Structure 1
Amino acid sequence: MPGGGGGDNPFAALFGSMGSNDLGAAFQQLGQMLSFDGGPVNWDMAKQIARQTVSQGTSDGTKDQSVGAAERAAVEEAVRLADLWLDDATSLPSGAGSVVAWSRAEWVEATLPVWKDLVDPVAERVGTAMGQVLPEEMQAMAGPLLGVMRSMGGAMFGTQIGQAVGQLAGEVVGSTDIGLPLGPAGKAALLPLNIEVFGKDLGVPKDEVRLYLALREAAHQRLFAHVPWLRSHLFGAVEGYARGIKVDTSKLEDAVGNLDPSNPEQLQEALQSGMFQPQDTPEQKAALARLETALALVEGWVDAVVHAAAKPRLGSADALRETLRRRRASGGPAEQTFATLIGLELRPRRLRDAARLWASLADARGVDGRDGLWAHPDMLPTARDLDDPDGFVHREQLDFSELDKMLGEAASGKGPDLEKKDRPEDTDADPGKKDGPEDSDGSGGSGDDEDRGSGA
């Protein structure tokens, strides 16, 4: 963690570099931290720590800097050209209503709202557990203490999340690197400084590196813009996984019972020690399989579409593709921090399998037939289909001419309900559950061992 002692202690992260003249301001800030009552994570602190982490620079000595006019113009031109190339590779139209070139600090500001959606469900479980470590008869008497504990828990999480987001800002090259739409909808974003660092030792011209990364960003934007259920599907999968996370209350009890108010890093160490242990249940395995499959399908589609667009035009397409695949498979320090903190790895373990399946679909059914599968989550390949891509590609019962007819009727408000026709056994089901992550992966818990064991 950057920042020396601040990596383990939010107090040191905030006040470690202050002199005696700043002591009054430091205690005022401490009071604000302990009086925080705005949710399971102190996001004001997270933003402050993220900014500090960015300002310290990355381990290679690179410091953040404002984006100049020339860099901004180069990014805009790269995304414009990328969108032209993608028109030949996918039936989904452009999804980038605007193009921006961000500094690392601007990336932090733009993406924090989405990190809040991702992290709050897990942090809420920890906050609840912190209030339950005392016997019930003591909780009423310890009300003020519990409030302080919750505030400290929010501060601890805020510190960790802030440092991880700040670190990630030094690694990402756009707004969709982890397969989730982190930025504002319809806004394609690239980070010129990080693109320069990424391409430094690749032996590939800078313009080609920028253009290839613009292709990936623009492809993600098309998918998220024109598959309206996809964002909620992905975030629902993350929330489903979070609901199954088991908080190790015995570790938390030890941490709280031995807590020294003058040594708050004890609780911080507990947060870093793996209190969040996935339950070994079929439901939890199914949630993990759904999440990993969803991420693999998104990243695999982008990989296949970008390769189809870049291969005939860029001599470096194969090398850049392999470099990015390995980068996604290994993850950086910030992604590993999130894995430790919330027990979740946002990596597409089966990216290569998914990319092969999407490419085979394009060969067998054409671009329209491949992209038409994004019309509904129930039509997407499952984890089992990634094991047997040929079986999925050539499945005879999928009549795409009939599907096109039904989609047209549904769009015009005529004809039978598409979901009911596809799934007659669900006619009495709650329609609000059809787009949930539970319906997207018919494999349930099966295929999970293969998912978790396969490298991307």
Structure 2
Amino acid sequence: MATLVDWDLAERIARAAAGEGPAAMSGKLDLEAIGERSRKAVLGYTRLNPAEPIPQPEWVSRREWTQINLDSMRALIEPLERRAGETFPPGPAGAGLAALTGRVLGAQVGGLLGLASRRVLGQYEFPLLGPERPSRLVFVGENIDHAARELGGEPADVLEWVALHEMTHAVHFSAAPWLRGHLGALASTLLEDTPLKLSTADVLAGARRLVSSDPRQLLAELRDADPVSLLAPAESQETIARVQATMAAVEGYAEHAMDAAAGELGSAVAGLREGLERRRENRGTLARVLSWLLGFEMKLRQYRDGKDFADAVVELEGIDGLNRAWTGAEAMPTLAELASARAWFERVSVPSSA
């Protein structure tokens, strides 16, 4: 079967880019206790009722984080791998182009995830497509240490803040287990129905950017250039809009709940917010890399729209009003409704006809 991504190359480059940092001092912190405080703070504010177990927080290295996300990405892109045969012409020329494409995409995906692994602090990770498996709540100790030094704070305070954000996602998805399936169905529709758009010119341009004997120059090229897009999204705007609205609503809910719950964890934790927000260049790293590959982008403005929406709904109707968004896919706000909290609430408050 033809492959779109050379996953062995992606893994090698990701591991090399991630590097091996010093033993994390954060590993001495009581992650279990910090996670439990975050869990109680989030549950206390949101009043959500988890229907599934909330994963236990765990430490991972940078290289372990890259492997987790490579595995997730491979499972998500698998529907495109099945369609790879329609992408390349028959014969030796097509085989050569397929091999070059795999190496270019492998280098790009591996390099970007490896670079991201040096900054990401924590992640609530779950499978969208592929074999069913438990979700995970992971924290990168080396990066917690680095962020504390960079911000002039204590590793424990940085971890408290990051744990609060990721635990909000974990509680949220555990309380609305349909949400994973909803996102997975949207992703599957996009991957199965959108025409492939991979062009020879794009692949050759990507290959030229990756020709360097200097590993530092290669990583700089990978960091500064978007991956080659695989899909032509013009024919899938409706699905893309639903993906963007859902992601914005999910992230906005987490940002709102995190702000509201942070007060219970002390002023030192809340005081790190500005510095940590500036540092969060890798917001939704896996989603961002995938959006590049799939031909659309989640803009930072859309995440802000999600936070503004959550704040506005709570101001109007309280947290229980906002929690109506998680009763089912039909209650999710549209992109237009993210800018009109009242219109969304009025829609979801209308009793459905029998």
Q: TM-score, length-normalised on structure 2? A: 0.77
- Partner residue of 1:398? 349
Residues 9 and 110 of structure 2 are in contact (CA less than 8 Å); yes or no, is this contact kept in structure 1?
A: yes
Q: Equivalent residues in 2 for 1:382-393 (5 A)?
A: 382-393=334-345
- Provide Cα deviations, 1:63-84, integer angstroms capped at 9, x if missing partner: 424557x625432221111112
Q: Equivalent residues in 2 for 1:75-114 (5 A)?
A: 75-93=31-49, 95-114=53-72
Q: Which SS does the other structure have where 2:58 is aligned?
A: strand
Residues 278 and 284 of structure 1 are in contact (CA less than 8 Å); yes or no, is this contact kept in structure 2?
A: no
Equivalents in 1 of 2:3, 2:318: separation in Å?
48
Equivalents in 1 of 2:125, 2:157: separation in Å?
18
Residue from 147, 157, 161 that aligns with 1:198: 147
Equivalents in 1 of 2:146, 2:353: separation in Å?
50
- Partner residue of 1:355? 307
Equivalents in 2 of 1:191, 1:185: separation in Å?
19
Q: Which SS does the other structure have where 1:194 is aligned?
A: helix
In structure 2, do the counterparts of structure 1 residues 233 and 156 end up closer, same or farther at CA, with 3 Å as the change threshold? Answer: same
Instruction: Report the AA paired with residue 45 of structure 2.
Output: A
Equivalents in 2 of 1:130, 1:299: separation in Å?
37
Unaligned runs of 5+ residues in structure 1 are: 1-36, 56-62, 132-138, 257-263, 403-421, 425-456
Equivalents in 2 of 1:221, 1:313: separation in Å?
18
In structure 2, do the counterparts of structure 1 residues 79 and 318 end up closer, same or farther at CA, with 3 Å as the change threshold? Answer: closer
Q: CA RMSD in A?
A: 4.0
Residues 174 and 191 of structure 1 are in contact (CA less than 8 Å); yes or no, is this contact kept in structure 2?
A: yes
Q: Which SS does the other structure have where 1:64 is aligned?
A: coil
Instruction: Report the AA paired with residue 47 of structure 2.
Output: S
Percentage identity across aligned positions? Answer: 23
Higher CA-based Rg: 1
CA deviation after TM superposition for structure 1 residue 345, in Å: 3.1
Instruction: Report the AA paired with residue 298 of structure 1.
Output: V
- Partner residue of 1:39? 3
In structure 2, do the counterparts of structure 1 residues 369 and 350 end up closer, same or farther at CA, with 3 Å as the change threshold? Answer: same
Q: Which SS does the other structure have where 1:189 is aligned?
A: strand
- Partner residue of 1:247? 197
Q: Which SS does the other structure have where 1:350 is aligned?
A: helix
CA deviation after TM superposition for structure 1 residue 126, in Å: 6.0
Query: Is the aligned partner of 1:49 residue 2:21?
Result: no
Q: Which SS does the other structure have where 1:77 is aligned?
A: helix
- Provide Cα deviations, 1:240-298, integer angstroms capped at 9, x if missing partner: 4455365254626x959xxxxxxx945968x96876387574x4332332222111111
In structure 2, do the counterparts of structure 1 residues 124 and 158 end up closer, same or farther at CA, with 3 Å as the change threshold? Answer: farther
Residues 231 and 294 of structure 2 are in contact (CA less than 8 Å); yes or no, is this contact kept in structure 1?
A: no
Instruction: Report the AA paired with residue 295 of structure 1.
Output: M
CA deviation after TM superposition for structure 1 residue 104, in Å: 0.5
Residues 121 and 139 of structure 2 are in contact (CA less than 8 Å); yes or no, is this contact kept in structure 1?
A: yes
Q: Which SS does the other structure have where 1:382 is aligned?
A: coil
Q: Which SS does the other structure have where 1:188 is aligned?
A: strand
In structure 2, do the counterparts of structure 1 residues 71 and 385 end up closer, same or farther at CA, with 3 Å as the change threshold? Answer: same
Query: Is the aligned partner of 1:163 residue 2:115?
Result: no
In structure 2, do the counterparts of structure 1 residues 147 and 300 end up closer, same or farther at CA, with 3 Å as the change threshold? Answer: same
In structure 2, do the counterparts of structure 1 residues 265 and 53 end up closer, same or farther at CA, with 3 Å as the change threshold? Answer: same
Q: Equivalent residues in 2 for 1:393-432 (5 A)?
A: 393=345, 395=346, 398=349, 422=352
- Provide Cα deviations, 1:142-195, integer angstroms capped at 9, x if missing partner: 2x55445433432332222111221121121112399x89x9634321112112
Unaligned runs of 5+ residues in structure 2 are: 212-221
Residues 230 and 294 of structure 2 are in contact (CA less than 8 Å); yes or no, is this contact kept in structure 1?
A: no
- Partner residue of 1:371? 323
Return structure 1 stretches of 4+ with deviation > 6 angstroms: 271-274, 332-337
- Partner residue of 2:134? 185
Residues 13 and 114 of structure 2 are in contact (CA less than 8 Å); yes or no, is this contact kept in structure 1?
A: yes
